[in-house]
Amino acid sequence: MNNEEFLTAVDAKLTDCYKLLKEKNIAYSSNIDPMNNFNQFAKLTGTTPQDALLSFAGKQVIQIYNKQGRQNDPTYKERIMDVINYFAILLVMLDE
């Protein structure tokens, strides 16, 4: 794989992540607050929305780690994409 092929492959993966983010945003956000789950969890736990997001991301990282060697599991790649999306959302939170 050369550099151009690598960048094209990464672009394709990030596009897949974005598609998954859009699907999950419909399922998990509210019409009023796209950060609803993070805000609600932060209120329940007395933390910040950023801390709530990191908790959700941490759960996914643990699941990825626990599934090492089972990359054929259909949830394995989705969990990796979830972590990428959580950190993209964190970047948006930091800009607010």
For the stretch 34-73, pLDDT in tens is 898 999 999 999 999 999 999 999 999 999 988 776 778 8
Nearest in space to 82 (alpha carbons), one of 58, 53, 60: 60
Looking at per-residue pLDDT, the higher value among 61 and 25 belongs to 61
Residue 33: how many CA atoms within 13 Å on its side-chain side? 8
Q: What is the pLDDT of residue 7?
A: 98
Beta carbons of 24 and 85 less than 8 angstroms apart: yes
pLDDT at 88 over 90: yes
Q: What is the pLDDT of residue 72?
A: 80
Model pTM? 0.89
Looking at per-residue pLDDT, the higher value among 25 and 55 belongs to 55
**Residues 6 or more apart from 81 whose CB is under 8 A from it?**
13, 16, 17, 20
Which two tokens mark 65? 């780690």
Beta carbons of 54 and 90 less than 8 angstroms apart: yes
Residue 84: band (very low, low, confident or very high) from pLDDT cuts 50, 70, 90:
very high
Q: What is the pLDDT of residue 15?
A: 98
